[in-house]
Amino acid sequence: MSDQILTLHVGPSQLLSKLCDEIELEKTINDLVKWDSVRCHISPGTRIKALVLNILCSGKPLYKVHEFYQNLDSEMLFDTSVSPDQLNDDALGRALDYLYEAEAWKVYSTLALKALKKLNLPIGVLHNDTTSISVYGEYKQPKEDGLQITYGYSKAHRPDLKQIVLGMGVTPERIPILAKVENGNTSDKSWNVEFIQKMRKILSHEDWKNLIYQADSALITTENLAEIQQQNLSFISRLPDTFGLSTELKKEAWLLNNWERVGSLSNKKDAAIYQIQAFERQIQNLPYRFLVVHSNNLDQRKEKTLNRAIEKEEIQLKKEIEKLSKVIFHCKEDALEAIQSFKKKQKASYFCYKLNVQMSDQPIKRKKRGRPKKDEQTKQEQIYQIQLESFEKDHDFIENKKKMLSTFVLITNKLDEETLSNQEVLRVYKGQSAAETRFRLIKDSQMIDAIYLKTPERVEALGIVYVMALLIYGILEYRVRKELKEKNLSLILKGKRKLYQPTGQALLEQLEDITVILINQNQQKIRLLPDNIDSQAKKIIELCGYDVSIYVSKNVENKGE
């Protein structure tokens, strides 16, 4: 073989590979799935790791993964020698089959709990939510009780496509701990119960005791509250407005007006300012703690909805009043009665208006044909018509409506104020964005455009592989942010952005331009790094506990070990 000098654009791949190795991604998968180590040239763990790196660095579909690895230094990424051709869609598909048969969600939870231990993070709060992911194509019928790829409520606004539902439990540090792929028509209300039951299986008694389960208002049904009580689980959620108690508590809070000022929970400009009032009530004879929370920032969607309702009522009222004003009455009493009837029928919520009765004379229509005689007098009759005297907005009502719309009710159990203050309860609830940001990422076109596989089983397994990618992404983001905070540092990333809490996406972008010079000489491989590697890319690698030598040597350990 003649000498070769190659320039490989490796980007963040080697750093991400090291993070995978730290939590023993390959080993954990190989230990938990059933596979033939004699017949398999590449282990399932290696193939799944190849998918994870591809998702984070490229996002190419399964049938193009081997193309992605043609431009990488595969020997540096895996425990065994792997050629790009071995990472074809058939080999990756079989790895997904292995993962599915081992119950992919259980494999993932084992891996995630290892990661938490590695990061020295306790399980305290878990933010739980679901999202829908659209899929294309036709699929074989699933096995009995298998994943149903079907139509359902599309959070991606694609009701024309079949879908799956992905549920996740995420720590405040944005590390997914539990993930489960569900049928496309699964509702959030029914999903919560099964998710809680699965969490109970994977968490220790001590972790369960310290756990606070946070979810959106879909959690709160009488059936779910009974299950929560049975499972002895602490939770924080929002009381849905479908419960009459929600309106009752809001009205009482504004009547008492005994607010505890919380202030802002964010350093962002124009961040909402909150105030709270606490109450205790019962639902089905069980006591709960409620917090009525008021935000000075009315949700833009709610404000638009309110403004549309006001505009619609104004147009409708004026149209009906105009029709009424054209009706002629022959006695005042009939006109007054018509006003009362109109007000009962046309309920006005946002406007105050006043109608009065105006009397006038009107010629009586001649019964004879022909032209009237010169001396014939025109007879007059008195008529009554309804006129609009005043029409204006009911500002007090609208203001009260805005107060109610900018107020929501939180519900919790077992968490008294000594255990968790009012402000801390609100802060935990607002941490729901930890799950939401991960969903936004997994639905980013760079990460997942659409899933197209042959079987529902492979779709389910691939959904969990995407969450594995989120786990590595989360570890990268958490470790860099933690080090920046502890050392009071910042990063100057692309676009000259000075960031103290960079997103994982920003970090990956900064690492994209890393290249390695590979020299094949005398049947030996020599790896060199160019001198002009970006200083901020080096800094990111160092904040993760490594240095750039991980790109030229496999024997580099984390400095924090």
Q: Which structure tokens are listed for 424?
A: 């801390």
The confidence score (pLDDT) of residue 448 equals: 45
28 within a domain of the structure (yes/no): yes
Predicted confidence (pLDDT) per residue in 528-550, tens digit:
999 889 999 999 999 999 999 99
Pairwise CA distance, residues 468 & 132, whole Å: 18
Q: Is residue 297 part of a domain?
A: no
**Sequential DSSP letters for 315-338:** HHHHHHHHHHHT--BSSHHHHHHH
Query: What does the DSSP assignment read for 77-143?
Result: HSSS---GGGS-HHHHHHHHHHHHHT-HHHHHHHHHHHHHHHHT----EEEEEEEEEEE-S--PPPP
Q: How far apart are CA 40 and CA 46, in angstroms?
A: 11
How do beta strands 273-283 and 497-499 pair? unpaired
What pLDDT, on a 0 to 100 scale, did the predictor assign at position 292? 97
57 within a domain of the structure (yes/no): yes
Low-confidence ranges of the chain (pLDDT < 70): 1-2, 59-62, 156, 366, 376-377, 443-452, 559-561
Instruction: Select from 369, 400, 431 the last residue of a domain.
Output: 400
Report how far apart, in Å, the C-alpha atoms of 508 and of each of 10, 271, 533 are: 12, 28, 15
Domain that holds residue 349: 302-361+379-400
Q: Give the global pTM.
A: 0.84
Q: Per the domain annotation, does 522 fall within a domain? A: no
Closest CA to 168 of 353, 416, 435, 415: 435
End-to-end CA distance of the chain: 40
Cα torsion 333, 335, 337, 339: sign: negative
How confident is the model at residue 447, as a pLDDT?
43
H helix runs in 326-373, sequence order: 332-345
Pull the structure tokens for residue 139.
Answer: 């699929």
Q: Tell me if 495 is assigned to some domain.
A: no
What is the pLDDT at residue 449? 42
Which SS3 state, helix, strand or coil, does residue 340 take? helix
- Residue range 313-370, pLDDT digits in tens: 999 999 999 999 999 999 999 999 999 999 999 888 999 999 999 999 888 776 777 7
Contacts of 516 (CB under 8 A, 6+ apart): 7, 8, 10, 73, 527, 528, 529, 551, 552
The pLDDT, as a whole number, for residue 396 is 92
Q: How far apart are CA 330 and CA 359, in angstroms?
A: 9
Q: Both 308 and 395 in a single domain?
A: yes
Residue 209 tokens read as 């005791």
SS3 252: helix
The first and second tokens of residue 468, run together, are 């594995």
CA 445 to mean position of chain CA atoms: 16
Q: Give whole-number Cα distances, 174 to 59, 169, 423, 510, in Å.
A: 21, 9, 21, 21
116 located within any domain: no
**Residue 199 in domain:** no
CB 274 within 8 A of CB 426: yes
| CA dist., res. 160 & res. 150, Å (int) | 11
Please list, in sequence order, all residues whose beta carbon lies within 8 angstroms of the beta carbon of residue 361, skipping any fewer than 6 positions away: 380, 381, 382, 383
* 344's tokens: 């009962």
The structural domain count of the chain equals 2
Contacting residues for 149 by C-beta, under 8 A, at least 6 apart: 135, 139, 142, 162, 163, 164, 183, 184, 456, 459
Residue 67 is assigned to a structural domain of this protein = yes
